[in-house]
């Protein structure tokens, strides 16, 4: 049994920088046609020169391996129309982080004063630049995303022409928002389709499954599964694959992030086959993102077959999800198109 996927896209991807970028970039570029690259470096990407330089480092690390990095900017409320317009086609989206809420987000937004944000968000609306949001408050960890729902509603209502992407959603409340506001969309990760908090901390602590937003309850996972497996037109795959060296994960101050890039396609095929939804997988992996972002990805065809694959224990110094475990599908071939 085989399946062929055309131009799969990862619309929420952390590639880091420096040595880590060199270690893990090909884990994504080998199997995806492109990815939306997060800007939370140290320091974050906030200028055109920084964005282009980072893009060039990514292309070098992937050896231009038929992979297009879709670049993002770290949100600042002082961005104006002329500044954002100067990026031209180099900029795909702007990513908003609440201050201190996740890895390298210390320079993010403190407070959500609509009037403070109005100039930048109206400029983005005019220019057709989507706003990607890490939607969590600083409340109790299991309630942070649900508490952010009112902020999403405020943003969607005040800026109806702005495409707002709720990143890596984890709750039923976020799923419900998709049908309440025309301009709200979402990415969903592999790991949030598979695990709940019980998998992370219900028995022995599993640090390589610890992430932010933290995995939630079974009914939340079920809500995510339904819209993903049905390829709801307002959701798309975004791995939030977040590599950290093994010593930073297996530590007292465990770093947040699940590294799924090397196994994402394989595990998604396994999941969609299990639920008899393979016919919807390509829409979840590429067609929906193409429609939401208005992009034309590189032509790249990935073929997988139902043959067991043993997941390596490490990629460089990073432990992947399912390390040492066997998955039921394997990658067999990659075909690049004329525009790749």
Q: Give the predicted TM-score (pTM) of the model.
A: 0.97
Catalytic status, residue 240: yes
More confident site: 70 or 338 = 70
Answer whether residue 63 shows pLDDT above 90.
no
Q: In sequence order, what are the residues at sequence separation of 6 or more whose Cβ sits closer than 8 angstroms to the Cβ of residue 335?
A: 300, 301, 303
| Residues contacting 92, CB < 8 A, separation 6+ | 36, 70, 71, 72, 129, 130, 293, 295
Quickly list DSSP for 52-69. HHHHHHHHHHHTT-S-EE
Residue 177 is predicted with a pLDDT of: 98
Helices (H) and strands (E) in the chain — how many of each? 14, 13
Which residue is catalytic, options 182, 199, 240, 279? 240
Tokens of 294: 């208005």
Q: Closest by alpha carbon to 29, among 334, 338, 337? A: 334
Q: How far apart are CA 57 and CA 21, in angstroms?
A: 8
Return the bridge partners of 96, or none.
Answer: 133
- How many residues in total does the chain contain? 340
- Is the model's pLDDT at 100 over the cut of 90? no
> pLDDT band at residue 27, thresholds of 50, 70 and 90?
very high
Give the pLDDT band (50/70/90) at residue 339: confident
Cis amide linkage into residue 265, ω under 30° from 0? no
Q: CA 268, 269, 271 angle in degrees (round to 5)?
A: 60
The Cα–Cα gap between 180 and 178 comes to: 6
- Per-residue pLDDT band for 111 (boundaries 50, 70, 90) equals confident
Q: pLDDT tens digits, residue range 248-283?
A: 999 999 999 999 999 999 999 999 999 999 999 999
In the predicted structure, residue 128 carries a pLDDT above the cut 80: yes
Tokens representing 326? 């066997």
CATH topology of domain 2-336: TIM Barrel (3.20.20)
- Residue pLDDT, tens place only, 164-209: 999 999 999 999 999 999 999 999 999 999 999 999 999 999 999 9
Does the pLDDT value for residue 338 go beyond 80? no
pLDDT given at position 247: 97
pLDDT digits (tens, 9 = 90+) for 293-329: 999 999 999 999 999 999 999 999 999 999 999 999 9
Question: What is the Cα–Cα distance from 163 to 131, expressed in whole angstroms?
Answer: 6
According to DSSP, the residues that pair with 209 across neighbouring strands are none
Dist CA 321 CA 34 (whole Å): 21
Domain boundaries, the chain: 2-336
Instruction: Give the Cα separation of 44 and 148 in Å (integer).
Output: 23
pLDDT tens digits for range 204-244: 999 999 999 999 999 999 999 999 999 999 999 999 999 99
Residue of 92, 31, 93, 30 lying closest to 61 (CA atoms): 30
Under the banding of pLDDT at 50, 70 and 90, the label for residue 101 is confident
pLDDT tier at 122 (50, 70, 90 boundaries)? very high
The answer to whether 268 and 323 have CB atoms below 8 angstroms apart is no
CA distance 166 to 168: 7
């Amino acid at each position: 049994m085989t399946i062929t996927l055309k131009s799969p896209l990862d619309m929420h991807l952390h590639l880091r920088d420096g040595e880590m970028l060199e270690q893990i970039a090909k884990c994504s570029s080998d199997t995806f046609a492109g990815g939306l690259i997060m800007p939370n470096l140290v320091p974050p990407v906030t200028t055109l020169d920084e964005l282009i330089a980072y893009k060039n480092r990514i292309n070098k690390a992937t050896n231009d391996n038929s992979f297009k990095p879709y670049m993002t900017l770290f949100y600042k409320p002082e961005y104006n129309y002329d500044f954002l317009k100067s990026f031209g086609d180099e900029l795909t989206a702007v990513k908003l982080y609440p201050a201190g809420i996740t890895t390298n987000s210390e320079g993010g937004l403190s407070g959500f004063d609509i009037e403070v944000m109005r100039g930048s968000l109206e400029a983005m609306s005019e220019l057709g630049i989507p706003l990607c949001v890490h939607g969590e408050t600083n409340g109790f960890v299991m309630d942070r995303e649900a508490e952010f729902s009112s902020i999403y509603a405020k943003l969607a209502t005040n800026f109806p022409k702005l495409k707002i992407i709720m990143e890596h959603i984890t709750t039923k409340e976020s799923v419900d928002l998709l049908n309440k506001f025309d301009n709200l969309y979402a990415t969903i990760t592999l790991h949030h389709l598979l695990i709940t908090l019980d998998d992370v901390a219900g028995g022995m602590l599993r640090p390589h499954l610890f992430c932010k937003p933290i995995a939630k309850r079974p009914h939340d996972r079920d809500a995510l599964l339904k819209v993903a497996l049905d390829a709801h037109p307002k959701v798309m795959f975004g791995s939030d694959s977040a590599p950290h060296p093994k010593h930073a994960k297996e530590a007292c101050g465990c770093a947040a992030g699940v590294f799924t890039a090397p196994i994402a396609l394989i595990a998604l095929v396994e999941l969609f086959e299990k639920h008899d939804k393979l016919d919807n997988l390509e829409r979840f992996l590429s067609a929906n993102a193409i429609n939401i972002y208005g992009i034309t990805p590189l032509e790249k065809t990935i073929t997988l077959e139902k043959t067991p694959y043993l997941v390596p224990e490490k990629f460089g110094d990073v432990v992947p999800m399912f390390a040492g475990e066997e998955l039921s599908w394997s990658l067999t071939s990659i075909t690049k198109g004329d525009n790749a």
